[in-house]
Amino acid sequence: MKRVASAFAVIAAVVGVMALSLPAQAAEKGKEHKVVFQVDQNDPATMNLVLNNVQNTLEYYHGKNEDVKVEVVAYGPGLNMLRDDKSPVKDRLKRMKEGSFPSSLQFSACHNTMMGMEKKEGHPISIVPEAKIVPSGVVRLNELQEEGWSYIRP
């Protein structure tokens, strides 16, 4: 009888430990990753480096069956990455945006920079349809960091 009681105690302890570890595993599996990349240079090599890093980030977390939100914020000379008339990576932006599901990929264009370029060039600036316009690129980076996003600058 003592053996049965001892075996039962061991089984109960193992089941208890497993039950306690399941919420931790579930919480880790459900962890949402958030990464923001900055682009502030009008350099195709830098733009492609950022897009390579974005693609690697998406693939890494997809491989772990984990969600990730990625945002690329372009401002200053880097806004050329998201200009419909000048982007050297325009086709790649479209492919990446279309292929990012189930994760989230957002491209954000700085309105302050847009206004400066429009004033300097004397005509409206068009942004690629895959991007949204944010009031300020620097402020957007700051807000995302305050929300716990990891910040990457190539």
- β-strands 68-74, 150-152: how paired? unpaired
Residue stretches of the chain with pLDDT short of 70: 1-30
pLDDT of 129-147, one tens digit each? Answer: 999 999 999 999 999 999 9
Whether 91 and 117 map to the same domain: the answer is yes
- Rounded CA-CA distance 13/74 in Å is 54
Whether 70 and 143 map to the same domain: the answer is yes
Cα torsion angle, 128, 134, 136, 139, sign: negative
Its pTM stands at: 0.80
Whether 85 and 147 map to the same domain: the answer is yes
| Residue 53 domain boundaries | 32-152
One-character DSSP codes across 20-44: HHHHHHHHHHTPPEEEEEEE----H
Instruction: Tally the domains of the chain.
Output: 2
Whether 114 and 38 map to the same domain: the answer is yes
Whether 23 and 42 map to the same domain: the answer is no
Cβ atoms of 137 and 113 closer than 8 Å: yes
The pLDDT of residue 8: 45
The pLDDT of residue 29: 55
Whether 76 and 8 map to the same domain: the answer is no
